[in-house]
């Protein structure tokens, strides 16, 4: 059995009010935990695989293509491959999101 505590894993992103940590990274998939300070923004980008965002805490404003909507904690949002997506914390509290990519890009 393998286990790890997410705060003990060195971040792969630590800039502009965001801390991103790869919780799981295997050929079959990748799970990244991103913590956003208020007003932090992950700029639009494309991925070659489908992505699911799970809002763990706070509210996430997610833009996929031309659509943009805010989602509360407990919501899963699907983002198709090759379409630009972005995430923003427009709130006044911390936002935590799991980014799930299957298969690993």
- The residues that bridge with 57 in the sheet, in sequence order, are 96
Q: What is the pLDDT of residues 75-90, one digit of tens each?
A: 999 999 999 999 999 9
| pLDDT single digits (tens) 20-64 | 999 999 999 999 999 999 999 999 999 999 999 999 999 999 999
Tell me whether residue 11 is in a domain. Answer: yes
Domain presence at residue 82? yes
In a domain, 86, yes or no: yes
pTM of the model: 0.94
In a domain, 17, yes or no: yes
CB 31 within 8 A of CB 22: yes
Residue 1 lies in a domain: no
How many domains does the structure of the chain reveal? 1
Asked whether residue 64 is assigned to any structural domain, the reply reads yes
- Residue 85 domain boundaries: 6-101
Instruction: Please name the residues in contact with 47: beta carbons below 8 A apart, sequence gap of 6 or more.
Output: 79, 81, 82, 85, 101, 105
- CATH number of the structural domain spanning residue 68: 2.60.120.10
Backbone angles phi, psi at 6, to 5 degrees: -60, -30
């Amino acid at each position: 059995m393998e286990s790890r505590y997410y705060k003990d894993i060195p971040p792969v992103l630590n800039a502009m009010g965001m801390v991103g940590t790869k919780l799981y990274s295997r050929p079959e998939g990748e799970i990244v935990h991103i913590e956003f300070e208020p007003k932090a923004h992950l700029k639009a980008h494309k991925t070659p695989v489908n992505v699911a965002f799970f809002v763990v805490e706070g509210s996430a404003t997610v833009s996929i293509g031309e659509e943009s909507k805010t989602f509360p904690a407990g919501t899963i949002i699907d983002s198709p491959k090759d379409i630009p997506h972005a995430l923003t914390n427009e709130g006044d509290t911390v936002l935590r999101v799991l980014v799930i990519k299957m298969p690993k890009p």
